[in-house]
Amino acid sequence: MTGRSWSRQQGSAAPAALTLRHLDPAAFRARLPELISVYVAAMRYPDGIVSARAALWEEHSRREGFASTVAVDDHDRIRGLAYGYTGRKGQWWYSEVARGLGGAGSPWLSDYLELTELHVRPDSQGAGIGQALLTALLTDRREKAVLLSTPEGTNRAWRLYRRMGFVDVLRQYHFAGDPRPFGVLGRTLPLSTGAATPD
């Protein structure tokens, strides 16, 4: 998708104009260092995680249903990104959420897009970029639902997900190997249907 752009709010440090663009898997892999730099800046992570993330994101880009949307400025620099793929049995995240739900029989796990990452550079936040990225990524998906996990806490991400109709699937959940509590949120697709639980 190209052509969707908007101007920064007066006084903002964000770039003057941003455009949404879908990256196919090959283009996503070609821009991995820049994509991961957005993730590191948004999450305030140390640079030392870059190589591990690169290997993981490359593997994700080869999964069924992979899609990625980025927001680029007028110099083609990535200011925000969103990506995901079709959730399947055998994937780590699927297995973890199934454990939390007491088994794989939950209707949430029957046909869903895993929203794996959604990040906006700190100096571009607060201008609606996250919502635009999420809307573009979720539009015209064939899955019946979308699921995501995010650390617990009141913040901009949680407000965005609630605004977009996501409901609680699991709360205060601990993924294996991570001491932080997470919320697992979901909503039905398409976006026009509201946020009822899946059948």
Identified catalytic residue from 85, 112, 161, 173: 161
Beta-carbon contacts of residue 56 (< 8 Å; ≥ 6 apart): none
161 noted as active-site residue: yes
CA nearest to 168, candidates 76, 102, 101: 101
**Using CA atoms, how far apart are residues 196 and 25, in angstroms rounded to an integer?**
31
**Using CA atoms, how far apart are residues 89 and 189, in angstroms rounded to an integer?**
20
Give CA angle at 61 (56, 62), nearest 5°.
105
For residue 21, give Cα distances in angstroms to 55, 66, 68, 133, 198.
23, 15, 8, 9, 29
Beta bridge partners of 7: 17
Q: Give me the active site residues, please.
A: 161
